[in-house]
Amino acid sequence: MKDIFQIKRRYDFTDQDARNLSQLRPAMEQHKKQAADRVYDAWIVSEDQAKSLEDKDKLRQAKEGLAEWFVDLFNGEYDGRYLASIKTMGSELEKLSLDLHYINSSIHLIRMFCLDILGKQAGDLREQRSLNRSVQKILDLNLDVISSCRQAKETNESGFPNRLHEKLVHLAEGFSFGLNLTLVIILMGVSLGVVGLLGYDIWHIAHSGIEHGVTAVMGTLLMLWVMIELMETEIKHLKEGKFSISVFIEVVLVAFIRDALVATLEHGELNKLIFLVGAIVALGVVYWLISLADAKRELRRD
């Protein structure tokens, strides 16, 4: 909260304004009860505010506080003590559970009430305009302070949970980013390793039978294709936040296909081959169903 002098500068509140308001005090003090009644009558029109004012003690304190605050508008001395009195009035309004729009409308009613009184007074037109401007300034100043106090309290009350929530979200996002970064680095390293293995398998063809060499190369190519799919999936996930389960089905499917190739060329056990073929068929059906569901989902989006 800024001090009273900064607030007065913001509204160009001068010593002449203070003198104008002090000049109006005798006339305005005679109407303090009417001013308080006018604001209170507006409050009880709303059912929710009427309920909060059913307490007789609250009602009496509210009216007394409004009347004192109204007279204090024209005390002629607007220093730190006056700023404290505005904050006290804001606290009293808060006890009534008044929303900010009720406070705004209350200030508007007081503004119109004061202008009506000024309009009934005879005097120089230039002086009337000067008094009018001074009343407008002091009411705007009061509304500024009361609203700022309310907003500051609401921020303090809800600020810690909100800040804690934001920090937790940022922490989780940072942790997730770190995991994704680790995964990308590992995938890149493994991919380079697979490329190196492919080169070794090609070189190994010249030193062993062509049959086993080609089998090894095909198996390594399948592994390289899996790494490419995993890298593309991770990139898509980082860009769009999407996660594709079908890729993991592909990885398992390729692993079984590679084992089936090796087992066939090495003339492995028949039971093992039957198991591998059955697993490949089952995974193929699952992959086909997932791909079909993804295709239908894309058509619905289009």
Amino acid making up residue 217: V
Residues 6 or more apart whose Cβ sits within 8 Å of residue 77 = 18
**Tokens describing residue 128:** 């009337």
Range 202-217 burial, b when 16+ CB lie within 10 A, else e: eeeeeeeeeeebebbb
Count of C-beta atoms within a 10 Å radius of residue 153: 13
Q: How far apart are CA 80 and CA 232, in angstroms?
A: 66
**CA 289 to chain CA centroid, nearest Å:** 39
- End-to-end, the C-alpha distance of the chain in Å comes to 54
Amino acid making up residue 117: I
Rg (CA), the chain: 40
In a 13 Å sphere around the CA of 185, the CA atoms on its Cβ side amount to 6
Q: How far apart are CA 1 and CA 6, in angstroms?
A: 10
The CATH T-level fold of domain 4-160 is Globin-like (1.10.490)
- Identify the pLDDT of residue 141: 92
Count of C-beta atoms within a 10 Å radius of residue 5: 13
- Identify the pLDDT of residue 1: 47
Q: How far apart are CA 34 and CA 31, in angstroms?
A: 5
Q: How far is CA 42 from CA 38, 47, 97, 297, in A?
A: 6, 11, 15, 56
In a 13 Å sphere around the CA of 255, the CA atoms on its Cβ side amount to 9
Q: How far apart are CA 12 and CA 54, in angstroms?
A: 40
Amino acid making up residue 42: A
Q: How far apart are CA 113 and CA 32, in angstroms?
A: 10
In a 13 Å sphere around the CA of 216, the CA atoms on its Cβ side amount to 20
> Using one digit for the tens of pLDDT, what is the confidence trace for 58-95?
767 777 888 888 989 998 888 888 888 888 888 777 77
**Tokens describing residue 15:** 């010593």
Looking at the chain, the domain(s) classified CATH 1.10.490.10 span: 4-160
Decide: pTM greater than 0.85. Answer: no
**Tokens describing residue 287:** 């992959």
Q: Where are the beta strands (DSSP E) in the chain?
A: none
> Tens-of-pLDDT digits for all 302 residues of the chain?
457 888 888 889 998 999 999 999 988 988 888 888 888 777 766 555 555 556 667 767 777 888 888 989 998 888 888 888 888 888 777 777 677 777 888 888 899 999 888 888 767 788 888 899 999 999 999 988 888 877 766 655 555 566 676 678 778 878 887 888 888 888 888 888 888 888 887 887 777 666 666 767 777 787 787 788 778 777 776 665 566 677 777 777 777 777 777 677 666 677 777 887 888 888 788 878 877 877 776 676 55
Farthest-apart Cα atoms in the chain, separation? 118
**Tokens describing residue 203:** 């070189």
